[in-house]
Chains A and B, each alone.
Chain A
Amino acid sequence: MPIVVDADRPAQGPDVAERIHRSATSDRPFRYTLRAVAALFGAVVVLFAWSIVKTAWPAIRTYGFHLVTGSTWVAGGGPYGALPLIVDTLSTTCIALLFAIPVGLATALSLQFIVPQRLRAPSASLVELLAAVPSVVYGLWGIAVMVPFFIKTLEPFLSHVTGGHWPFSGPQQGFSILLAGVVLAIMILPTIVAVSRDVLATVPTDLIEGALSLGATRSQVLLRVVLPSARTGILGAIALGTGRALGETIAVAMVIGSNAQIPHSLFSSGATLASVIAVEFGNSVGTEGGALAALALMLMIITGAVNFGARALTRRAGAHA
């Protein structure tokens, strides 16, 4: 293509140089805006964390370490010992993981490797639909559908089969850490499935084909090749689910029975860190607000640590792919 020289126009030398200079400098407002808004969000998050520490401070100063280790929590006047709440939080989360890990991994493996290609997308969106149901609807479902089912069918059955031995002993009231754990399992399932599917998709095809060519069966490939090589990412998925289970509030508050005690059995009612804040914060008086803020602080630290670990694990899995 010939170079067209527009002879009618005057040379633009100095003008162009100036414009380049201007464009290089006048983009500062843009970058400053980006930084300012990013800093604003960072500041709000810091303010958020700080406000919880500040609100909790009077209670921390008054009760000290007893807030964590004390074994009785009485709403209204104290004493404020969070040990039962911590135990209940951990036990509901463990029950949830006990159900959600095997079912979630089986679901992820089926969706990725077993279900026929045509059915994959629809079945995946069905599982993802579980995540679209709001927490409070699971709570309502828990109260109206699961509690009667637990009282009439499941709890008598379990206690009959096991002869009423621990942990299937105690009064059968429906509202229990077992029900809370089951509801939590349903709620964290989509998280575990979605993240582990992403990780399973990164397992190199060479590995799978290599194992198949050596004569391994499909189940051997899945259990001995695919799962081990996706180990880190799956741990990350489980950790993410754990973080959700620890912090889930409304659904648990509605089905756990709101009774701050160390559970005697799976049928015991209980109360978790998050559920106590939800139920009691509204009518807290005096020092209880501070004690509840201290629970919020504990929850923030625990879920923060778990999510940080989950992030590191999923990152590492992604980097290896």
Chain B
Amino acid sequence: MTSIIADLPPDPILERRQQIQSLASRSIGRRSLVSKTVLISLVVGLVIAVIPLVTVIAALIGKGARFIGWQFLTGLPHLPSLVHLNDVGGIRNAIVATLVIDLLAGLAAIPVGVIVGLYLASTASRTSNALRTIVEMMIGMPSILLGVFAYEYLVTRMKSYSGLAAIVALSILMVPVIAKAAELAFRSVPTNLREAALALGARESRVARKVVIPTALPGVITGVLLAFARAVGETAPILLVVGPTVSTIFNSNPMHPMTPLPLLIYGYSFSEYPSQRAAAWGVALTLVFIVVALTTASRFISTRMRRERRS
């Protein structure tokens, strides 16, 4: 006896269908599992990236916060004595040295950087392309090389370490950072604004002064602040040229040796006095505070600028 069903020809793709169905149901589970695992591990990567920041900040605050105070910031440094083993004084000379050196370096670098940026944004020639390459290469140049340069040109000639040599090294470091940011800012000035001003008969210099620079100002300021943030924290270029890594002499004259904040951290961290090694954290917290303030200000300005442009 044969059943009717058995007599029917078998569904030619039934087996294939079942195969696909079972494959698909197995694979959807596997694929969503794999997908979730991958996504979670990517987020774990983000968490790992933040861990060092947390530990650095924890160490800075944990070891440095107790130093921060009026006396530390404005007092003069002195070596720990037998009577006052833990008293290393303040860091006024390092703060003044940092201010003098970085402000003067900025004073030299800002006009040059802005004009180079204006040149790069307004000229399209082989020369300007070459200069753009130079600017971008200088941004990535190891900063210690600027120290070697400043040593050869200033320290050997003046026969003395000086704030001036640091000013020269840091201003060369700042110019390309400012120039790059300024070029981008100038390029983002709408062409119709510039053309309208030109059509009204304004000269190029007047257009630059009255239209391009004011419109691009937030972008330029962002670049200047970033350049300051970089220069304030740099140690390598000034290490070779500026002066002793630990100093108790107060000097605000850049023609003489100075000891700015980053150099003092370097000096204190290798000091033979435990109290100075501890104080390195107070100096570091001060420096990080300055740099983070500059960076945050520049971010604030650039996001506000973006928002204004959108509206």
Which A residues have a C-beta under 8 Å from some C-beta of B?
20, 23, 26-27, 29-31, 33-35, 37-38, 40-42, 44-45, 47-48, 51-52, 54-55, 102-107, 109-111, 114-115, 123, 125-130, 132-141, 143-145, 186, 189, 193, 217-220, 222-223, 240, 243-244, 246-250, 254, 274, 277-278, 281-282, 292-293, 296, 299-300, 303-304, 307-308, 310-311
**Is B239 at the interface (CB under 8 A from chain A)?**
yes
Which A residues lie within 8 Å of B222 (CB)? none
A38-B116, A133-B56, A137-B284 are contacts. A248–B295 as well, Cβ < 8 Å? no
**Is B60 at the interface (CB under 8 A from chain A)?**
yes
How far apart sit A219 and B43, CA to CA, in the bound complex (Å)? 12
**Is B48 at the interface (CB under 8 A from chain A)?**
yes
B7 to nearest A CB, angstroms? 39
Q: Once the chains bind, are B151 and A281 in contact (CB under 8 Å)? A: yes
A134-B288, A308-B137 are contacts. A26–B203 as well, Cβ < 8 Å? yes
How far apart sit A189 and B51, CA to CA, in the bound complex (Å)? 12
Which B residues lie within 8 Å of A106 (CB)? 41-46, 48-49
**Is B262 at the interface (CB under 8 A from chain A)?**
yes
A126-B50, A303-B141 are contacts. A134–B291 as well, Cβ < 8 Å? yes
B290 to nearest A CB, angstroms? 9
Q: Once the chains bind, are B204 and A55 in contact (CB under 8 Å)? A: no
Q: Once the chains bind, are A249 and B142 in contact (CB under 8 Å)? A: yes
CB-based A-B contact count at 8 angstroms: 258
Closest B residue to A140 using CB positions = B269
Which B residues have a C-beta under 8 Å from some C-beta of A?
31-32, 34-39, 41-46, 48-50, 52-53, 55-56, 59-60, 63, 111-112, 115-116, 118-120, 122-123, 128, 130-131, 133-138, 140-149, 151-153, 172, 175, 179, 201, 203-205, 208, 229, 232-236, 239-240, 262, 265-266, 269-270, 277, 280-281, 284, 287-288, 291-292, 295, 299
A140-B280, A293-B148 are contacts. A30–B203 as well, Cβ < 8 Å? yes
Given A42-B131, A48-B146, A107-B49: 12 more A-B contacts, CB < 8 Å: A35-B119, A40-B112, A52-B148, A123-B46, A137-B56, A140-B284, A144-B63, A219-B38, A254-B266, A274-B142, A282-B240, A307-B136
B266 to nearest A CB, angstroms? 5
Q: Once the chains bind, are B45 and A110 in contact (CB under 8 Å)? A: yes
Which A residues lie within 8 Å of B287 (CB)? 134, 136-137
How far apart sit A144 and B59, CA to CA, in the bound complex (Å)? 9
Of A40, A137, A278, chain B has the most CB atoms within 10 Å of the CB of A137
A106-B41, A140-B284 are contacts. A135–B55 as well, Cβ < 8 Å? no
